[in-house]
Each structure stands twice: as structure tokens, then as C-alpha cells.
Chains A and B, each alone.
Chain A
Amino acid sequence: MKFLRTFTATAALLAALSLTAFAAPKSIKVATDATWPPMEMVDTNKQIVGYDIDFLKAVAKEAGVAVVIKNTAWDGIFAGLDSGQYDAIISSVTITKERQAKYDFTEPYTSIGQILIVPKTNKTAKVIADLKGKKVGAQIGTTGAMEIKKVTGVELKTYDEIGLAFEDMAAGRIFGVVCDEPVAAHFALQKKEYKDKFKIVGKSFTKEAYGIVVKKGNKDLVALLNKGIKAVKAKKLDTKIHTKWVK
């Protein structure tokens, strides 16, 4: 009798376990590098906030899945996805061919472009090529860094965080920074330490779109997230989030 009870209990437990294994995930872990304001950053209450975070929460709500957000350094954020430390990345990741070769992306969710920021004392520079023979900074492994690399004669300096690049430009060690347009606006137009020192040059010179990254072949998760993105766009929640964070 006792044996039978144990047996049925075990069988029930196994059935329950296998059921959850096949059903859609209840919760997904998503990494972000919260050093990219206003897209993702850590506020004074140590909370991770920003456009991407609000957008992800909206997508998850529409898709019926819970999310846990993990703050991860950008340099190595893809390696963490490889080793399965989290299920996805939402960190202003531009969809590029090189990245698509190794990872899967959701539908694009917002478009941006790269833009150049220089000290106000520079009256002549209009494009990166005008800074020939000088150092120009960007965050390591970003599309901004790749754009600087394309320009011959300009020395690329890569930083772990974009804030460190701006600080280095304030210290006079580099003569330009290239990053995503909303981030540039945050640092050069809104931050009071930099407002009087830096200016944005011209308009953004690339057309890029952000996507959420998942491990190659994780079709279920891409489908789930795309479903959420579609619903968020249909309800125009993304424009609301956009006006909240990007000024």
C-alpha cells in the first residue's frame, strides 16, 4: 500500500515536471547593460530603468510571461547568452549581419542612428573623417565603434562604458564620441556637467534598428517575444514609452 502511494506520488510529480518542461516558459531571464541612458540605466534607487526596460515589461505582459532583468557588462554580454546565463538580451542591440550570423533576433522594435559628439571648442568638425589623426571614442563592440573603425586615419578608442568615453572627452584625451542618438542627447544635451562642454554634430548618419537577442535556434522564444512586440505596437504602447524616455 505504502509502495503504491509512493509510486503514484512519484508518477504525478514526474507528470507535472514534464508538463512544465513542454509548456511555454513562465519566466525568462533577460540581460541588459544598464550604462546606456536613457535606454537602460540604473537610477538613484538602484533600480534598472529606461526605454528598453519599460518596453520589455510591456512585451512580457502581452506575451504572458514574467521577466527577470539581469544587469550585465556589455563586453561579454553575448558570451553570457552563449553559456546560458540568461535567455535573452535587451540592451539597445542593433540588428547587424554579423550578429545575426551567431544569434537570433526578434522583430525590430525601434530605429535609431549613430551620431557624433565633439567638444564645443571644435567649430569645424562635421563628420568623423574631419577628426583625422585624432582619437575618437565609443563603447567596445558597439556599432558606434565599428563606424569609427571604418574611417581611415582616425584612431578608435574603446571604453567599457559610454560614460567613461564622455568623461575622457571632458578631460581632453579624446576629440569625439560616437554613439546611439538618444544616448548622445542624454549626455550632451541633458547632463549638466556636459551641457556646456559638448555638442552634437549634424544628424545621425546610420539607419539601425534594435532587436531583442536570443540564442541561435531558440525559435519558441523568438515567436513568444514577437507576439508580445506585435501586441505592444498594435496598442501603441511603444510610442508612449518613447515619449516617456526619449526627449
Chain B
Amino acid sequence: MSKNPTSHTPIDVGDGAAIPNKNDAGLFTAWRIAFFGAIFVSLYLAFGKSDPYYEIFKFVPDGILVTFKVTFGAILLATCIGLITGLGRISDNRFINGAASLYVEVIRGIPLLVQIFYIYYALGRFVKIPDMLSAIIAMAVCYGAYMGEVFRAGIQSIPKGQMEAALSLGMSRGQAMRQVILPQAFKVVLPPIGNEFIALLKDSSLVSILAVSDLLRRGREYASETFSYFETYTVIALIYLVMTLFFSKLIGIMEERLNAGK
């Protein structure tokens, strides 16, 4: 045990790809090398080496579309679930608070892979949900719990005085939350939501076990018939890398714009 625990600097490690830091200037940043390197290697493989890489690049695009659909669908749904959960977690109502906390505890304690199987196959016995939708629901239910914590922290980061001031102006609690607290909290939670989005984009590869034809599944289908495992997974990894790096940059730019508006 350290003698002076307060002297530690807090570390912050997310599970998404690193969102590029504006201060990290210079032509050869890690992001640029990785992003343009991946694109260059992809182009070289597709057109320079062609066989079988060109075939693989031709085989997987509909899988990329499915990956996007699952990711965007899940992040939208997860944000809604997260907002409700976050509000529930700070609620004074013991029942609502308890329900929201229970949801967060249960979901965070179960591996995502198990949840996906569970929602798809176990619930499939009772309710008929189409495959893509149940993949989206499974991802959203899981990420909603993490997102709930993000929203809770975001709302709590707004000084208490603001709520008190809004109430003293005659606003109801709901009004104050909607018109004063949440608009500010959204700015605070946007970067962590961006991180969750990138983590979700990567985790969406897990839905390939549900026979949802996402990018990874398409790759596996190609490899299982042609036996070109090395080539196929090289291509799949490159495509995921380009996607996550692209979105991390985009989120970085968005964040900058928001800060500039302050």
C-alpha cells in the first residue's frame, strides 16, 4: 500500500480506440500512420496482389453494411436506455432507483457474448424477434447499462446550484432537468458516448455468432470455403481498423467543435 494514496494521478483508459488528441501535433502521429497505413496496405493488397485479396474485398462489403446497421441501431437504442437508466440512478424514488441500479449491476456482471446468446436463443423461444433486431437489442441492452453510468456521471457533474436556481425560478423538477441540466450534461457525456460508440463498433463483431451476416461473418464464410484464413482475416482486421480510426477522428473533430462553442 502506498503511503500517500492521494498523490496518484488518476488514469483514464477507455475500451475504445484512442480519440486523437489535438495537442498531439506533427505529420507522423500514431493515428495518421495507422489510418493511412491501413488504407495503403488495403489498396496494395486489393490491386497490387489481387488474388485472393481482390476477391475477399468484393465478398465482404454487404457485411460492412450490416456491421454499420447493428452499430448505429444499437448506439441509438443504448443512448435512450442509458438516459432513462441514468435518470433512474439519480432518482429519489426508491423503486425507480433500485430498478435502474439492479439493471446496471446485472448487465455489467454478465459477459456480452453470453448476453447476446441469451437474448437471441433463450428469448427466441418466447418471442419472435427478427435476427438483426435481436442482435441490436442484445448490444443495446448491454451498452445501455454502461451508458446509464455515463449519463449519471454527466448529470451529477452539473453543479447542484443550477438545479436550485432553476427551481427557485419556478420551474418544475422535470422542466429544470429538460431545459437546464440535460442540455449541459449532453456536452459532458458526448466524448464518453463517442468512446462507447467505437467500443460498440468493435464488439458488434460478436453478433457474427448469431449468424447475422456482419463483416466478420462474411469473412468467416469466405475463409471456410476457400481455406485462405490468413488472407481473409488480414482483410477483415484492416477494414475494422480503418473504420474505428475514421470514427475516432470524426468524434475528435466533433468534440473540438463543441468545445469551441463554449
Contact = CB atoms under 8 A, between A and B. Distances in A.
Do A and B make up one complex? yes
Contacts of B128: 171-173
Interface residues of A, number: 26
A8 B197 CA distance: 68
Nearest to B218: A158
B130 A173 contact: yes
Nearest to B134: A173
Contacts of A140: 220-221, 224
Interface string B220-249: 110111110100000000000000000000
A167 B128 CA distance: 12
Q: Which of B121, B124, B211 has the most CB of A within 10 A?
A: B211
B229 A146 contact: no
B217 interface: yes
Contacts of B213: 157-158
A164 B211 contact: yes
A171 B128 CA distance: 6
A168 interface: yes
A82 B229 CA distance: 10
Contacts, number: 56
Interface string B106-137: 00000000000000010011001011000000
B227 A171 contact: no
A76 B221 contact: no
Nearest to A149: B225
Nearest to B128: A172
A137 B221 CA distance: 13
Contacts of B124: 167-168, 171, 173
Contacts of A79: 223, 227, 229
Contacts of A164: 121, 211
A21 to B, nearest CB: 29
Given A157-B213, A164-B211, A168-B211, A141 B229 contact: no
A172 B130 CA distance: 9
Contacts of A75: 220, 224
A228 to B, nearest CB: 26
Interface string A155-185: 0011110001101101111000000000000
B236 to A, nearest CB: 13
A141 B211 contact: no
A158 B130 contact: no
Given A167-B124, A170-B125, 9 more contacts: A74-B224, A79-B223, A98-B226, A140-B221, A145-B221, A145-B225, A158-B211, A168-B211, A172-B128
